[in-house]
């Protein structure tokens, strides 16, 4: 369930909306409650001032008219009550509405001070406003006016407001969630289109991911199309490699068939048989290696060049120990970006040819290209007979057969040329300072496999 992008987004949106709506609802409720409470306090202050405006104190006696302008003070249990306490907290006056209303705890308030609090009798809430007043310098002239109003109507109003607020915010949240679902359905439609096209690709109904996709999906579809093109090209290369292999084995097989049909084999026949078997083995190796390298062209790694060349040098010194070949390395800290087997094939073929056809001295150079575009180079020099200028281009032609290449250069150079073509690298052949051939490979920037 959580593997669905839509489900994840909906769950996250629902949680976010719940938190946000709860916070907004709480803030709105608190603001409304504070406003209504402040309004009630202001109303109680006005009632207090209207009562004190009619009050009279003579010889410490507090008096007020029997009837007050505010009608609820004159009605019993009206929900609005008033009392006046003297300095000894004794009741000296109360409104007609408070005659049967039990008093709350008596509290004296300093003249000029206001005191507000919520009180309850049972489960019935009330708002109390106490105001201290002085009509003279004597202690007998100090009184505390207490005005009480029923808080239950406001409490009911607050509940209705809270219910309406919850309904409004809940409806708004559901509408937002529905809108989010519609947006997700519309926004994820291109992904569904890609999935449907991939399904059709799987069944062979489509050749690529063609279509007008959003900008965010274009890198994905472009890379998938490139992958499909590489896969199709890989299949074609496999077919070509198998066709080349089949064609190249026809002649050796015909020779072997003719030799085996003879009743007795001479020494020359055996040599020819061994030669044809070696030729077949070499061609099979070449075609299979080329197919493997082309198939693995998408394998990209960062390969340090120096350790790999040192390993090749150690191996070749053992192979050509009898010839006492001197291999000198002058290598920096270059890094090849591609398949390690490809670099091993390129460098291995060049070094092996230099050891095989040189005259005992090989020098390997590796460093940064002096050109402003950057990149690096690998150069292998030997002191052999070299390669004639007219043969240099021909021996690098792709698919050159063993019996048509220049003497001393096998199928390895064709494989090297194929690999370098994949990495968009340049191979040049010249004369080395040692007097023989010089093979120089130049990679533009950090070499990238196709």
The fraction of the chain above a pLDDT of 70, given in percent, is: 83
Give residue limits of the domains in the chain.
6-158, 218-295, 301-443
Is residue 291 within 8 Å of 237, Cβ to Cβ? yes
Highest mean pLDDT among 163-177, 205-219, 284-298, 313-327: 163-177
For the domain 6-158, what is the CATH code?
3.30.450
Please list, in sequence order, all residues whose beta carbon lies within 8 angstroms of the beta carbon of residue 69, skipping any fewer than 6 positions away: 50
Is the model more confident about 291 or about 53? Answer: 53
Average pLDDT across the chain, whole number? 81
Is the model more confident about 190 or about 246? Answer: 190
Instruction: Please tell me the predicted confidence (pLDDT) of residue 27.
Output: 95
pLDDT tier at 406, thresholds 50, 70, 90 = very low
Is the model more confident about 22 or about 245? Answer: 22
Is residue 353 within 8 Å of 424, Cβ to Cβ? no
Query: What is the mean predicted confidence (pLDDT) over 271-280?
Result: 71
Query: What is the mean predicted confidence (pLDDT) over 325-330?
Result: 92
In this predicted structure, which of 60-69, 229-238, 359-368, 407-416 has the lowest mean pLDDT? 407-416
Instruction: Please tell me the predicted confidence (pLDDT) of residue 343.
Output: 86
Instruction: Please tell me the predicted confidence (pLDDT) of residue 248.
Output: 59
Element (H, E) at 428: strand 426-431
Query: What is the mean predicted confidence (pLDDT) over 48-59?
Result: 87
Is residue 194 within 8 Å of 205, Cβ to Cβ? no
Task: State whether residue 140 is helix, strand or coil.
Answer: helix
Please list, in sequence order, all residues whose beta carbon lies within 8 angstroms of the beta carbon of residue 86, skipping any fewer than 6 positions away: 62, 92, 140, 142, 143
Instruction: Please tell me the predicted confidence (pLDDT) of residue 260.
Output: 66
Query: What is the mean predicted confidence (pLDDT) over 176-193?
Result: 84
Please list, in sequence order, all residues whose beta carbon lies within 8 angstroms of the beta carbon of residue 194, skipping any fewer than 6 positions away: 209, 213, 217, 220, 221
Residue 160, Cβ density class (10 Å: 0-12 exposed, 13-18 middle, ≥19 buried): exposed
3-state helix, strand, coil in the chain (%, to 5): 50, 20, 30
pLDDT tier at 450, thresholds 50, 70, 90 = very low
Is the model more confident about 7 or about 400? Answer: 7
What is d(CA 348, CA 321) in angstroms, rounded to the nearest whole number? Answer: 17
Instruction: Please tell me the predicted confidence (pLDDT) of residue 236.
Output: 74
What is d(CA 178, CA 184) in angstroms, rounded to the nearest whole number? Answer: 10
In this predicted structure, which of 32-46, 182-196, 197-211, 395-409 has the lowest mean pLDDT? 395-409
Q: Residue 35 pLDDT > 90, yes or no?
A: yes
Instruction: Please tell me the predicted confidence (pLDDT) of residue 401.
Output: 38
Q: State which fold the 301-443 domain adopts.
A: Heat Shock Protein 90 (3.30.565)
CA dihedral over 262, 267, 269, 274, signed as positive or negative: positive
Instruction: Please tell me the predicted confidence (pLDDT) of residue 6.
Output: 77
Tell which residue, 347, 340, 343, has the closest CA to residue 300.
Answer: 340
Q: Residue 377 pLDDT > 80, yes or no?
A: yes
Query: What is the mean predicted confidence (pLDDT) over 4-8?
Result: 78
Is residue 120 within 8 Å of 142, Cβ to Cβ? no
Query: What is the mean predicted confidence (pLDDT) over 339-353?
Result: 84
Q: Report pLDDT digits (tens) over 83-111.
A: 999 888 899 899 999 988 888 888 889 99
Is the model more confident about 217 or about 71? Answer: 71
Query: What is the mean predicted confidence (pLDDT) over 299-306?
Result: 79
Instruction: Please tell me the predicted confidence (pLDDT) of residue 404.
Output: 40
The fraction of the chain above a pLDDT of 90, given in percent, is: 29
């Amino acid at each position: 369930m959580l593997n669905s992008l839509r489900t994840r987004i909906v769950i996250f949106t629902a949680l976010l909306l719940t938190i946000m709506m709860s916070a907004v609802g709480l803030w709105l409720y608190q603001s409304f409650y504070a406003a209504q409470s402040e309004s009630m306090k202001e109303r109680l202050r006005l009632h207090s001032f209207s009562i004190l405006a009619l009050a009279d104190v003579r010889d410490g006696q507090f008096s007020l008219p029997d009837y007050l302008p505010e009608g609820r003070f004159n009605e019993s249990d009206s929900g609005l009550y008033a009392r006046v306490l003297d300095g000894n907290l004794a009741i000296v006056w109360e409104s007609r509405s408070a005659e049967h209303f039990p008093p709350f705890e008596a509290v004296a308030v300093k003249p000029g001070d206001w005191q507000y609090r919520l009180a309850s009798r049972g489960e019935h809430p009330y708002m109390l406003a106490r105001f201290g007043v002085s009509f003279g310098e004597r202690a007998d002239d100090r009184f505390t006016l207490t005005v009480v109003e029923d808080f239950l109507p406001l409490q009911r109003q607050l509940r209705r407001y809270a219910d309406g607020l919850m309904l409004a915010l809940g409806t708004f949240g559901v509408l937002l969630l529905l809108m989010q679902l519609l947006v997700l359905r519309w926004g994820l439609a291109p992904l569904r289109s890609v999935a449907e096209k991939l399904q059709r690709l799987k069944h062979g109904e489509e050749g690529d991911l063609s279509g007008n996709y959003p900008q965010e999906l274009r890198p994905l579809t472009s890379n998938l199309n490139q992958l499909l093109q590489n896969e199709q090209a890989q299949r074609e290369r496999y077919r070509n490699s198998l066709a080349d292999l089949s064609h190249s084995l026809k002649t050796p097989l015909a020779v072997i068939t003719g030799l085996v049909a003879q009743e007795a084999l001479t020494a020359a026949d055996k040599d020819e048989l061994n030669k044809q078997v070696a030729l077949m083995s070499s061609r099979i190796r070449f075609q299979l290696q080329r197919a493997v390298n082309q198939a693995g062209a998408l394998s990209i790694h960062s390969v340090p060049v120096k350790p790999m060349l040192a390993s090749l040098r150690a191996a070749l010194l053992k192979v050509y120990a009898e010839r006492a070949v001197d291999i000198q390395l002058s290598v920096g800290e270059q890094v090849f970006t591609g398949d390690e087997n490809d670099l091993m094939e390129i460098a291995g073929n060049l070094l092996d040819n230099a050891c095989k056809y040189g005259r005992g001295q090989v020098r390997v150079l590796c460093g940064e290209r002096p050109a402003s575009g950057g990149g690096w180079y690998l150069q292998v020099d030997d002191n052999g007979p070299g390669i004639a200028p007219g043969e240099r281009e021909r021996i690098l032609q792709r698919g050159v057969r063993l019996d048509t290449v220049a003497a001393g250069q096998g199928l390895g150079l064709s494989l090297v040329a194929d690999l370098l073509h994949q990495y968009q690298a340049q191979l040049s052949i010249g004369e080395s300072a040692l007097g023989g051939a010089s093979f120089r490979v130049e990679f533009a920037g950090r070499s990238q496999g196709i």
